[in-house]
Amino acid sequence: MTVLSGQRRIWLTGASSGIGLALARRLLAQGHRVALSARRREPLERLASGYPDALVVPCDITDHGSVAEAARRIDTAFAGLDLLLHDAGTCEYLDARHFDLALIERVLEVNLHGALKVIDAGLPLLRRARDEHAGRPLLAAVSSAAAYLPLPRAEAYGASKAALSHFLESLRIDLADEAIDVSVIHPGFVETPLTARNDFAMPLRLDADSAVDAILEGLERRDLDVHFPRRFTYLIKLLGSLPPGLRLRLGRRIAGRKRRTQAGA
């Protein structure tokens, strides 16, 4: 079991389900002070029960005021952050034959704009920790291996994650002089309530606890790119580097397999 060293002050979003829930359980069990955020209070309170270092701060990441209030409460309780770990996200797939702008906007609002609101609210807390304790705080966010390669029906999801990855990699350059590190997490398929809705094969799918091991190991090393499972993500990276024409042919083959799978369901 991978351990994140020290006792850190952590703000974890998306803490009520999936990878975020598994991360929350692990971090609390290791004795870290963890501010738990998700939209609903009840599952967070159940999660925090028995952990005196847990702070329940529900918020809606699409609402700037809600996120700002959560950050204010965390700063009051923790006096800064050593780690901002953003995991909240959503996934919806687009049928381009019935172009759905509302679907695209929903996904972008959560996965990109929501992440930006959390970063905007959390950066001052990371700076406070740096200034008061002379350490190097860490900003980390969960993107997706889909950021590496355009995939069929993933126009909204893939674009939101690719944009998030690009933003964080650029931000990393500008924060380097501030002594704030940035890690971007690119999981492959992980068993979560979101992936349970997928109607296609998910190669090399991991359980949530294995994903947490990979994430904490990468964060402990302060890897710039935390990606897993490596056999899958290295292949996706390689395919993403192909010329556009080859990527188009590959995408059409994948789309054809998905249609055949759905037809046989």
Distance CA 219, CA 187 (A): 13
The length of the chain, given as a count of residues: 265
pLDDT 10s digits, 135-164: 899 999 999 999 999 999 999 999 999 999
pLDDT band at 257 (very low <50, low <70, confident <90, very high): low
Would you call 157 a catalytic residue per the annotation?
A: yes
What are the residue boundaries of the structural domains of the chain, listed by start? Answer: 9-264
Q: What is the mean pLDDT of residues 206-220?
A: 97
**Per CATH, domain 9-264 is 3.40.190.10:** no
pLDDT of residue 195: 84
pLDDT 10s digits, 7-17: 999 999 999 99
Q: Which pair of tokens denotes residue 241?
A: 């580097």
Catalytic residue among 51, 93, 148, 157: 157
pLDDT of residue 194: 81
pLDDT band at 258 (very low <50, low <70, confident <90, very high): low
- Chain centroid offset of residue 92 CA: 16
